[in-house]
Structure 1
Amino acid sequence: MSDTTRQSLAAMADTVVVKVGTRVLTHPNGALDTRRVAGLADQLALLTSEGRRVLLVSSGAVGAGIGRLGLEHRPTDLAELQAVASVGQSCLIEAYNLALENHGRHAAQVLLTADDFTDRSRYLNVRNTLFALFRLGAVPIVNENDVVRVDELQRNVGDNDRLAAMVTNLLRAPLLVLLSDVEGVYESMPSGDEPPVVIPQIDISQIASDSLVQSRANAGAGPQLSVGGMGSKLDAARLVATAGERVIIASGRRSNVLVDILAGKQVGTLIMGAESTTNSRKRWIGGAARCEGRLIVDEGASRALCERGSSLLAVGITRVTGQFSRGDAVAIVDGQGIEIARGLSNYSADEVAKIAGARADRIADLLGQRPYIEVVHRDNLALLG
């Protein structure tokens, strides 16, 4: 079964973030279910062969470590939890890579913490690295860096759900798919022999205002091998939908679930976002902390930014003021002194001063390297008025 809304979403979803939970990937005893991993990898490879950019946020490191080490329970000691996660992470990425290699693809391990999103330089570097992996045809496998992140393993808040939402917003991906051990958001708690009824579609306003949604959804407790639950998934969905993107919560145990979703079939619960897909992010960049510098641009660059939504290239910059580092927010000013945009700079003030007015093919000669073509990429730029 499909509908026009889902078909349209499937057609426009050129970038897809998928999050899969521990209970989907592990056996009841905690060991990694390699057949489930292989089945998921098969679907990821198929989606990438269609020309989509696909990123997987995968839980399961602690569960995989529990299985490999033969432990009966999830450790409570922080040092042991981190050690188990370290053992399990190698198992997890190895399983994904072996399965993807059957399709001529490679798994790229990416371990992140919340700090990678709050620090602008690291945020920008993560984004550029992920898009470089897409260009190389690899499948990024993202996980929380449990080995070094002290507080994440101690909080029962579903960190990878939140991490998936942050990655979705970072990539501005049109679709986030949260794969759980339940079929979606239920109308009511399952009871007796009656099968639960999945809510096919929810609007962002319902998540924000209807507290019953979460109480209806908390089903499928499962073994204590993971953190989070449906509540954390709805919180993650709120973060993404508020920025204007779409979220689908579905069962990761369903055969070919990703293929069906990207074929526009009615699978799981679709959570619709705000009307605009750009305003939230543009407001964030435009209202970022104090701009550390100013880039004065010529008339051609001003027109390209304002009329065509282009990135800012070095050739259009006439002057640089202030001191800023890579990833800092800068004001973009036209020749009349009017601030027309703000953005995150790929280069430091000293570097921009050296390449201002130069064509992109001269950057390497002037700096000794050319890590980026754009000084400010259009995805990291907000027009003002």
Structure 2
Amino acid sequence: MPSTELRQTVLCNARRIVVKVGTGLLTSPDPDRPGLDLNYIRRIARQIAGLREQGYEVTLVASGAIGAGCLELGLKQRPRDVADLQAVAAVGQRKLMAHMHQAFARQKIHVAQMLVTRGDFDDRVRFLNIRNCVTRIHEHGCIPIINENDTVAVDELRFGDNDMLAALTANAIRADALLLLTVVDGLLDEQGNRVDLIDNVTDMLSLARRDTSQWGTGGMLSKLEATRVVTEAGEIAVIANGQEKNVLARLLAGEALGSVFVPATRKLDSRQRWIALTARPAGTITIDEGAVRAVTGRGKSLLATGIADITGRFERGDVALIRDPRGREVARGLSNYSADELRLIRGKRSTQFANILGRSAYDEVIHRNNLVVLTPSDGR
């Protein structure tokens, strides 16, 4: 599908939007006047207010807490110590939200702050609570502003400047589109030209530069990973220059700005999105070719007879990654058995399970209703 057609038939019809604004946009580009770029914050608030008047539901994911804290405290560079990062984030988050509140108040819009960690998305109940909370915030006429809770996070500080957080949020609330705003025009090719249309994210990874802004942690690679999560769920994603005038309205009007990412033909429901694209797998199950054909080609449940190996430590109900004999990911699902139990019953028939485990047992290791086959474009 050409870019113009995709933008006009899919992006123009999107109504529930997640917008992610990066640290490079929210902090001042003037080295003589470091701090948050208040003019930009006011501009993005005006744009979102304009979209709301047109009937759009916009959830904002805003980076910049650590950058804002560094600048407020007069730090010349981003700290490396985790405790320092957490402390700086506590200072910066307060400042960031104060200015967000003021900017949206000018538009007569209330804002709501949500601070989350990666673990909140791993847990099914908390994942649903995020969705429910965002939904209720919108029902009250407020704009949810979501950021990582960097004050308590450790590994989450390397999460990718909130790009993945924005993607997981989009999947949690079943957003129609993810708009990642940055300081470049989109994904650039080897000649520095904008790539207009991307139908396979994996093919584009070699183009991703790994450098980041002074205060940010993301870069283009984290944005590509985020677009993959959203497009695999069946929704559209765009990486665009947030400095373009009225960029949000122009994107949603179908204008050829940024790089647009083609959604998968299938559309996953909320539970499938959590299993396949949100919760981090607790372990890996390697299966033989016969099991691969049964699971991916015939939509069957995963049985113990097809299991070749188990790695990791997981419990019943955890998400497990399923690999083929060549190590390629083919599916993810909720295991009916712990890793230790699977090591005892792998290769066995279900009629033997009760004697081996000393209790009644499920026939399936992963029932097909709890299993999501990954598409080949995953490239994982």
**Common fold by TM > 0.5:** yes
1:274 aligns with 2:278: no
- Residue 71 (structure 1) shift: 1.7
1:246 and 1:223, CA in 2 relative to 1: closer, same or farther beyond 3 A? Answer: closer
**In the alignment, which residue of structure 2 is the partner of 1:89?**
93
3-state DSSP of counterpart to 2:152: coil
3-state DSSP of counterpart to 1:226: coil
Alignment partner for residue 264 of structure 1, among 231, 251, 254? 254
1:280 and 1:273, CA in 2 relative to 1: closer, same or farther beyond 3 A? Answer: farther
The whole-number CA distance in structure 2 between the counterparts of 1:268 and 1:139 is 24
**In the alignment, which residue of structure 2 is the partner of 1:217?**
208
**In the alignment, which residue of structure 1 is the partner of 2:27?**
26
**In the alignment, which residue of structure 1 is the partner of 2:201?**
207
3-state DSSP of counterpart to 1:3: helix
**In the alignment, which residue of structure 2 is the partner of 1:5?**
6
3-state DSSP of counterpart to 2:162: helix
**In the alignment, which residue of structure 1 is the partner of 2:226?**
236
1:120 aligns with 2:129: no
**In the alignment, which residue of structure 1 is the partner of 2:311?**
none
1:55-66 to structure 2, matched below 5 A, reads: 55-66=59-70
Alignment partner for residue 194 of structure 2, among 173, 193, 198? 198
Alignment partner for residue 146 of structure 2, among 125, 142, 145? 142
* 2:22–2:182 CA contact under 8 A, matched in 1: yes
Code of the residue aligned with 2:205 in structure 1: it is Q
3-state DSSP of counterpart to 2:261: strand
**In the alignment, which residue of structure 1 is the partner of 2:187?**
185
How big is each residue's C-alpha offset from its partner over 1:82-122, in whole Å with a ceiling of 9 and x where there is no partner? 11111110111111111111111011100001111111221
The whole-number CA distance in structure 2 between the counterparts of 1:69 and 1:45 is 32
3-state DSSP of counterpart to 2:239: strand
Code of the residue aligned with 1:151 in structure 2: it is D
* 1:188–1:217 CA contact under 8 A, matched in 2: no
3-state DSSP of counterpart to 2:253: coil
The whole-number CA distance in structure 2 between the counterparts of 1:44 and 1:198 is 25
Code of the residue aligned with 1:46 in structure 2: it is G
**In the alignment, which residue of structure 1 is the partner of 2:282?**
none
1:202-351 to structure 2, matched below 5 A, reads: 202-203=198-199, 206-208=200-202, 210=203, 213-218=204-209, 221=211, 223-278=213-268, 281-282=271-272
1:17 aligns with 2:8: no
- Residue 52 (structure 1) shift: 1.2
* 1:244–1:280 CA contact under 8 A, matched in 2: no
**In the alignment, which residue of structure 2 is the partner of 1:364?**
none
1:222 and 1:275, CA in 2 relative to 1: closer, same or farther beyond 3 A? Answer: closer
1:121 and 1:222, CA in 2 relative to 1: closer, same or farther beyond 3 A? Answer: closer
Tell me the C-alpha RMSD between the 2 structures: 2.6
* 1:243–1:280 CA contact under 8 A, matched in 2: no
- Residue 224 (structure 1) shift: 2.3
- Residue 60 (structure 1) shift: 0.4
The whole-number CA distance in structure 1 between the counterparts of 2:181 and 2:118 is 21
How big is each residue's C-alpha offset from its partner over 1:357-381, in whole Å with a ceiling of 9 and x where there is no partner? xxxxxxxxxxxxxxxxxxxxxxxxx
- Residue 67 (structure 1) shift: 1.7
* 2:89–2:150 CA contact under 8 A, matched in 1: yes
Code of the residue aligned with 1:131 in structure 2: it is T
Identity fraction in percent: 45
1:283 and 1:187, CA in 2 relative to 1: closer, same or farther beyond 3 A? Answer: closer
The whole-number CA distance in structure 2 between the counterparts of 1:223 and 1:269 is 20
The whole-number CA distance in structure 1 between the counterparts of 2:139 and 2:181 is 25
TM-score under structure 1 normalisation?
A: 0.67
1:33 and 1:274, CA in 2 relative to 1: closer, same or farther beyond 3 A? Answer: same
Alignment partner for residue 110 of structure 2, among 106, 112, 121? 106
Code of the residue aligned with 1:114 in structure 2: it is R
Code of the residue aligned with 2:156 in structure 1: it is E
Number of residue pairs matched?
278
- Residue 79 (structure 1) shift: 1.4
3-state DSSP of counterpart to 1:67: helix
How big is each residue's C-alpha offset from its partner over 1:254-305, in whole Å with a ceiling of 9 and x where there is no partner? 111111111111110000110122368548669x99xxxxxxxxxxxxxxxx
* 2:66–2:88 CA contact under 8 A, matched in 1: yes
**In the alignment, which residue of structure 1 is the partner of 2:285?**
none
